[in-house]
Structure 1
Amino acid sequence: MSAPIVVHPPRGSGGRRVTVRGQIVGLAHNDADLLEFLRRAGLPDAEELLDDPSRVLWRGGRAHHYEAA
């Protein structure tokens, strides 16, 4: 089973699309944005999950990095 939260690769204009259980929840430009999207998705303790690979998959870039290479 894949992680239910996916932080997609950084976009050329900056920011990363975020999906929760296959639903797009927003475009995060930093961890604060990401945490707010996850809070709205019903995950109030999301900060503890960000570095758990069974819960969050960081695709195409370093974790916590939001700018395009």
Structure 2
Amino acid sequence: MATMLEVAKRAGVSKATVSRVLSGNGYVSQETKDRVFKAVAESGYRPNLLARNLATKPRKPSAWW
């Protein structure tokens, strides 16, 4: 399975640009989006859910009384 860094290298962009394209945050030109999506399709990239969960802040459990 491909990593985000491998997708970035294949598309000729930075890892941050791949992240912006996949999350839909920030401005990225349509040409760059097309290159990233093509690289994603060719490489078979899928987000690593375990890594995503580890990178997010843990939420404090809330108690309902």
Length-normalised TM-score, structure 2: 0.28
Q: Which has the higher contact order (CA 8 A, sep 6+)?
A: 1
Length-normalised TM-score, structure 1: 0.28
Larger radius of gyration: 2
